[in-house]
């Protein structure tokens, strides 16, 4: 279904809009489609579905979120917060298939920039973006039985932030005209692209709200964040950003694998063997890309829950298995602290850009 009378990707004379489509509680919703009897129940998806194992929550249904369960929370804590929840294992192939079905629908309607499994930007020219957004919702639901929320904006930044006000199953519009009215008094953490660390650094400069960031002097921001990121954060406070959608297929910068150990690793030989095994999997992944690795990064989570990353540039770009695995092991040997139990390890390889 294409609402052609309402929108066009190329129509001259009509205003251009960016829509941010975000599937509501996507993973939980896919599981409910497969198990309709779970509808309305608190549902948690994570790990192998066993809260006695070390794993984190991938998603929680709205019913589970009401108990304080959130993504990234240790599964055992989630089970404690919501003991009546149904806990299911992660089924990545099922979610990928559902995502591809949704993106196929969106591509019939507009220019699409995929952001992840459950979200995308749409670029359209239309006199009525809200009506178009509602038709997008109807088309997605008709094809997949999945609900989505949509943010409408005149930039990608405003569209992305608008979605939060439309959840669940709604549509909300943020433009230059109402940006500060809606967002001005909210904390900088509410902005897309500002996390806890950046908001704390902004607060140290006396910038705590979106309106304060929008009006901030750029010099202190440059001194704190650098000549590129300083002005970028001020623009973010003003809701400024791209006004177009880029449909270029996403090309990964790298590949990585990580694992959480059910029992902390303390033996040095076991730790290095685990790093080597992860590096082997990374080599397989970058081999499918046909691009060499240029940098390795090691993620280490020490017990009980302290995470650090360590990285090193490779002497030369390489896709050779032995070179990458040995470099990962050397990085681990040099940078992992001795005598500290480890609960998680990850190896990530940054690849050379495509030619």
Most distant CA pair in the chain, distance: 67
Closest CA to 60 of 144, 52, 73, 100: 73
| CA angle 232–236–237, rounded 5-degree value | 120
* 138 is an active site residue: no
Q: What DSSP string describes 41-78?
A: S-EEE-TTS-TTSS-B-SEE-HHHHTTT--TTSBHHHH
| CA angle 213–221–179, rounded 5-degree value | 20
Alpha-carbon distance 324 to 314, whole Å? 8
Alpha-carbon 112 to chain mean position: 17
Asked if 296 contacts 347 with a C-beta cutoff of 8 angstroms, the reply is yes
Asked if 328 contacts 298 with a C-beta cutoff of 8 angstroms, the reply is yes
User: Which residue intervals of the chain are DSSP H helices?
Assistant: 26-34, 62-65, 75-81, 92-107, 129-144, 156-166, 179-183, 196-204, 210-214, 218-225, 229-237, 268-289, 321-335
Alpha-carbon distance 352 to 354, whole Å? 6
Handedness of CA 98, 100, 101, 106 (dihedral sign): positive
Closest CA to 171 of 137, 145, 120: 137
Region of 200 (left: φ > 0; alpha: ψ -120 to 50; beta: rest) is: alpha
Catalytic-role residue among 31, 63, 113, 119: 119
Alpha-carbon distance 129 to 67, whole Å? 35
Please tell me whether residue 95 adopts helix, strand or coil conformation.
helix
Q: Which residues are catalytic?
A: 119
């Amino acid at each position: 279904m294409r609402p052609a009378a309402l929108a066009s990707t190329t129509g001259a004379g009509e205003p251009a809009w960016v829509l941010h489509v975000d599937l509501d509680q996507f993973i939980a919703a896919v599981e409910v489609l497969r198990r309709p009897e779970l509808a309305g129940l608190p549902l948690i998806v994570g790990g192998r579905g066993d809260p006695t194992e070390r794993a984190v929550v991938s998603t929680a249904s709205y019913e589970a979120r009401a108990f304080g369960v959130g993504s990234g929370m240790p599964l055992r804590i989630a089970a404690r917060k919501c003991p009546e929840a149904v806990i299911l294992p992660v089924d990545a192939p099922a979610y990928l298939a559902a995502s591809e079905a949704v993106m196929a629908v969106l591509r019939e309607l507009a220019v699409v920039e995929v952001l992840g499994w459950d979200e995308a930007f749409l670029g359209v020219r239309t006199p009525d973006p809200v009506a178009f957004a509602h038709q997008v919702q109807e088309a997605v639901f008709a094809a997949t039985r999945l609900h989505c929320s949509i943010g409408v904006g005149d930039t990608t930044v405003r569209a992305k932030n608008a979605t939060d006000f439309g959840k669940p199953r709604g549509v909300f519009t943020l433009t230059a005209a109402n940006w500060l009215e809606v967002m001005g008094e909210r904390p900088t953490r509410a902005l897309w692209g500002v996390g806890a660390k950046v908001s704390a650094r902004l607060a140290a400069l006396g910038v705590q709200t979106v309106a304060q960031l929008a009006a901030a002097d750029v010099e202190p921001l440059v001194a704190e964040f650098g000549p590129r990121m300083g002005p970028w954060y001020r623009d973010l406070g003003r809701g400024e950003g791209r006004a177009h959608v880029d449909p270029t297929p996403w090309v990964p910068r790298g590949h990585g694998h990580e694992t959480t150990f059910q029992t902390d690793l303390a033996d040095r030989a076991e730790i290095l063997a685990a790093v080597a095994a992860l590096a082997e999997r990374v080599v397989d992944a970058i081999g499918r890309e046909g691009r060499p690795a240029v940098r390795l990064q090691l993620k280490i989570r020490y017990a009980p829950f302290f995470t650090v990353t360590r990285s090193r540039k490779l002497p030369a770009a390489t896709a050779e298995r032995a070179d990458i695995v040995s470099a990962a092991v050397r990085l681990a040997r040099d940078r992992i602290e001795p005598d500290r139990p480890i609960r998680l390890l990850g190896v990530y390889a940054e690849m050379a850009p495509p030619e």
